[in-house]
């Protein structure tokens, strides 16, 4: 029976996963996967372009903003791996710093996060000035970029700490370091950065908008479906399913992906092998632990 299965709806490299047992397939379904849709692809290209630019007096910076759950951290991780690939490929091995801003952002937490990212302490940040040790290290490692996730946490600091933090970021993006800051955060992030006019001018802002009923969303759904090890096509891009996914998720990626993956798990548990409207409706709830389903005599 397996030999005659038509798995053309699954991307070629993942087709063999559809031959695994039910429990293994459900595990695959819940693993994070990456879909490279047009908005994220342009942002990745913009960051690559900035990384390759010659060092400028005022570094070009980028802010990626979006609602909670739109996919900023997933994109941050992808950009990190893009930078790692470029770093290895380029002869001059340009470096980067990457960290997540702590919910309690003080200059001390900047020192710790940057020190952890570089693997060496960077010294004390006094009066928001970039420490000498960090400047030397940046020069030695040919540092070009600073990637910061959760940059909206800047707003959690008191007014005077906020000013010092912004002053420090301004210092990173000014000579002698002139690092390009690539920051990711919820919509408030732009507000945090715009409170420093000099810093604001350096940022190009990209938005990850909520999903709408359009070609881009249908392609995202088709691509997601091609990653799932189900034995029948679900055609998630059909209008009825598109409308249901949008109304159940308010256009937020996290909620859409949860609906699809839970719907896929339900479709295996129910023996349907395709995500139909009923599976998507049931996907409001987490499907039961698979062994228990078996134990209960399914």
Question: What residue ranges bind ligand ATP (CB under 6 A)?
Answer: 32-35, 40, 66, 68-74, 186, 253-254, 257
Beta carbon nearer to ligand ATP, 107 or 236: 236
Beta carbon nearer to Mg ion, 25 or 72: 72
Give the count of alpha carbons within 13 A of 217, CB side only.
23
Q: Which stretch binds Mg ion (CB under 5 A): 25-33, 73-81, 125-133, 254-262?
A: 73-81
Q: Which among ligand ATP, Mg ion, none contacts residue 283 (Cβ within 5 to 8 A by kind)?
A: none
Rounded Cα distance, 151 and 193, in Å: 9
| Least distance from ligand ATP to the Cβ atom of residue 78, Å | 8
DSSP letter for 54, please: P
Rounded Cα distance, 152 and 183, in Å: 9
Helices (H), the chain: 22-30, 38-52, 72-89, 107-118, 132-140, 159-172, 188-194, 197-202, 215-225, 239-249, 253-269, 277-282, 290-295
Take residue 170 and report the two structure tokens written for it. 């301004």
Contact 251, 243 (CB under 8 A): no
Distance from the first to the final alpha carbon of the chain: 21
| Least distance from Mg ion to the Cβ atom of residue 230, Å | 28
Beta carbon nearer to Mg ion, 253 or 261: 253
| Least distance from ligand ATP to the Cβ atom of residue 55, Å | 30
| Least distance from ligand ATP to the Cβ atom of residue 261, Å | 8
Burial grade of 128 (CB within 10 A; 0-12, 13-18, 19 or more):
middle
Is 81 among the residues that bind Mg ion (CB under 5 A)? no
List all residues 6 or more positions away from 12 whose beta carbon is below 8 Å from its beta carbon.
none
Is 73 among the residues that bind Mg ion (CB under 5 A)? yes
Beta carbon nearer to ligand ATP, 40 or 190: 40
Beta carbon nearer to ligand ATP, 72 or 164: 72
Burial grade of 74 (CB within 10 A; 0-12, 13-18, 19 or more):
middle
Rounded Cα distance, 132 and 273, in Å: 60
Q: Which among Mg ion, ligand ATP, none contacts residue 164 (Cβ within 5 to 8 A by kind)?
A: none
| Least distance from ligand ATP to the Cβ atom of residue 295, Å | 29
Beta carbon nearer to ligand ATP, 70 or 280: 70
List binders of Mg ion among 108-137 (CB under 5 A): none
| Least distance from ligand ATP to the Cβ atom of residue 260, Å | 9
Binding site for Mg ion (CB under 5 A): 72-73
């Amino acid at each position: 029976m397996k030999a005659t299965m038509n798995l053309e709806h699954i991307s070629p490299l993942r087709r063999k996963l559809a031959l695994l047992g039910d429990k293994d397939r459900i595990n695959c379904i819940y693993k994070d996967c990456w879909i490279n849709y047009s908005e994220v692809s342009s942002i990745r290209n913009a960051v690559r372009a900035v990384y390759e630019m010659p060092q400028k007096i005022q570094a070009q910076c980028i802010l990626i903003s979006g609602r909670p759950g739109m996919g900023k951290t997933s994109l941050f991780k992808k950009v990190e791996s893009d930078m790692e690939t470029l770093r290895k490929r380029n002869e001059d091995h340009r470096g980067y710093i990457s960290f997540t801003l702590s919910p309690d952002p003080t200059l001390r937490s900047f020192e710790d996060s940057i020190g952890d990212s570089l693997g060496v302490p960077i010294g004390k940040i006094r009066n928001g000035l970039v420490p000498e040790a960090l400047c030397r290290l940046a020069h030695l490692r040919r540092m070009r970029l600073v990637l910061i996730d959760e940059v909206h946490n800047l707003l959690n600091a008191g007014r005077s700490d906020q000013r010092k933090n912004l002053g420090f970021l301004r210092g990173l993006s000014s000579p002698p370091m002139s690092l390009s800051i690539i920051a990711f955060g919820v919509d408030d992030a732009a507000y945090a950065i715009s409170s420093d006019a000099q810093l604001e001018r350096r940022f190009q802002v990209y938005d990850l908008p909520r999903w709408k009923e359009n070609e881009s969303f249908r392609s995202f759904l088709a691509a997601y479906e091609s990653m799932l090890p189900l034995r029948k096509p679900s055609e998630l891009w059909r209008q009825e399913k598109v409308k249901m996914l949008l109304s159940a998720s308010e256009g937020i990626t996290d909620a859409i992906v949860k609906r699809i993956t839970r719907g896929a798990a339900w479709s295996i548990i129910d023996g349907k092998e395709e995500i139909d409207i009923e599976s998507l409706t049931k996907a409001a709830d987490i499907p039961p632990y698979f062994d228990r389903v078996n134990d209960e005599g399914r």
